[in-house]
A and B are shown apart, each in its own frame.
Chain A
Amino acid sequence: MLRLISYIRGYLTVSVSGTFCERFLNVCAAKGILLWNIVRISDRSLRCCLSVAAFRKLPPISYRTGVRVHILCRHGLPFVIKQYKKRKVLVFGACFAMAIFVVANQFVWDIEIRGNETVRTKDILEALSEEGLYIGARKSRIDQQTLKNRMLIKMPSLAWLWADKQGSKVIVDVRERIPVPALYDAGDYCNVVAKKDGVVHSMIVKNGVPTVKEGDTVLKGTVLVTGKIPSELKPEIRYVRAEAQVFARVWYEKTERFSRLSEERTETGKQKRRVHITAFGKTFPQKTKESPFPECDVETKRHKLSFFGKETGIVVETAVYREVEVSGKRHTAETVAAEGVKALKKQMDAECSPTAELIAVSDGFREVDEETVEVTVRAEYLEDIAVQVK
């Protein structure tokens, strides 16, 4: 603490030389002059620190005690300020930067929409723009409560919205309205049919009469649960909307040919860096599509500048271009087959329903010619094949 106060007020390191250095210390202490970090340098001299105000009181003391006092070093804020007073352009630049920051902080430079799944971000941004929240808008003119009320009237698909100002960035948090389930007429009926070929494994029938049982083989389009319920007591048929979950074992088979030749990219070690600064909606220097090397890989990093945790709206984008050499490489059939199996498995996962469970998988490959490998993957899934059809 003492150090901090001394730094703010400014202090000096002085050398005291003379025969009676101890006497000098005693007289200073008696006069109430605070000395610290007193180090003996030689028999006739010592070094100590004292405040600027105390230094002004020294001449009579040094005269009385017969010592000579020399300033060795000046420390502290007053001396730093004095040093920078001469460098007017630097001070002006710092003030100018601060002024730009303060002015820029009054505007919105970035809008982030969070929480939307079905409503498009573009639509929300357009609506916000019409209500006065756009990039470049003044922050003080945005009233969050009014914006919320107007936006909820404008976009019925939103149940809640709040714009949170964080520095020059506005984070708009939205919650979408859950749609009301459709109402069906009493006479409206439908069946549940199979959407894929398979063997029925288990059934959960919520409404309707099942027409197949566990272990039956069904083809695509086969009625699994009917919505027509005949009554034993009355002659007329009751129509309902059949609803069921029918889990069946479904087989998938995929065959595809893969080339054994592939291009390999090897880094040469040469790299170039380009830095772009995006501020006020513009990029400096302007981006060019030309790459510095004929063949290269690009790695881009975006860094949003923030000041005391608040975003400034300035984005620094660093692109590192690494030169590569492209060469053809011939892989073994096994390697190509392993890669092929992975690719085909991915395709199958995309085709079956997300809740499907993989039961078994088998694969094989054959070499068609010297450059091509044919890979076959067979997989068995347990998945819900029920779909409602009128």
Chain B
Amino acid sequence: MKDSRKKKESLTGKLIGRFDIPEDVILDVPRITMMDNTEARIENYETVLEYDGETICIACKKKCITFCGKGLTIAVITDDEVTVQGNICAVQFG
């Protein structure tokens, strides 16, 4: 099962490399758009794990993205996009 999944991923990787297709379209990786350090838009997220004024932890398919800073708020949340606003000091991928 694991082998077949690995094979599939490598095949997708090859396709991406061959046809120059953006990765976020084929693979379900999160797409983060940041505007200075005051706003971050995360597409392709799964759930909000933790939310307070200093830490916002957002779970994506493979990774967990943590925004650290001061006065952090979730400006908008929809089923495929979440916008974080505030003074963002660090972004961690775990």
Contact = CB atoms under 8 A, between A and B. Distances in A.
Interface size class of B (residues with CB under 8 A): 10 to 19
A37 B73 contact: yes
Contacts of B75: 36-38
Interface string A1-31: 0000000000000000000011001101111
Interface stretch (A39-47, A108-116, A211-219): A39-47
Nearest to A46: B51
Given A38-B74, A39-B73, A22 B51 contact: yes
A48 B75 CA distance: 9
A32 B73 contact: no
A35 to B, nearest CB: 5
B76 A40 contact: no
B47 interface: yes
A11 to B, nearest CB: 13
A39 B78 CA distance: 16
A38 B49 contact: no
Contacts of B48: 22, 25-26, 29
Interface in B37-80: 47-53, 73-79
A353 B47 CA distance: 93
Tell me the dominant secondary structure on chain A's binding face: mixed
A326 interface: no
Contacts of A71: none
Contacts of B49: 22
A32 B74 CA distance: 16
A309 B66 CA distance: 56
Most buried by B among A22, A28, A30: A22
Interface of B: 47-53, 73-79, 82
25 contacts: A22-B47, A22-B48, A22-B51, A25-B51, A25-B74, A25-B77, A28-B77, A29-B77, A29-B82, A32-B78, A34-B76, A34-B77, A34-B78, A35-B77, A36-B76, A36-B77, A37-B73, A37-B75, A38-B74, A38-B75, A39-B73, A40-B51, A40-B52, A40-B53, A43-B52
The 4 A-B pairs with the shortest beta carbon distances in the complex, nearest first, are A38-B74, A26-B47, A36-B76, A22-B48
Given A22-B51, A30-B79, A46-B51, 10 more contacts: A26-B47, A29-B79, A31-B79, A32-B79, A34-B76, A34-B78, A36-B76, A36-B77, A37-B73, A39-B73
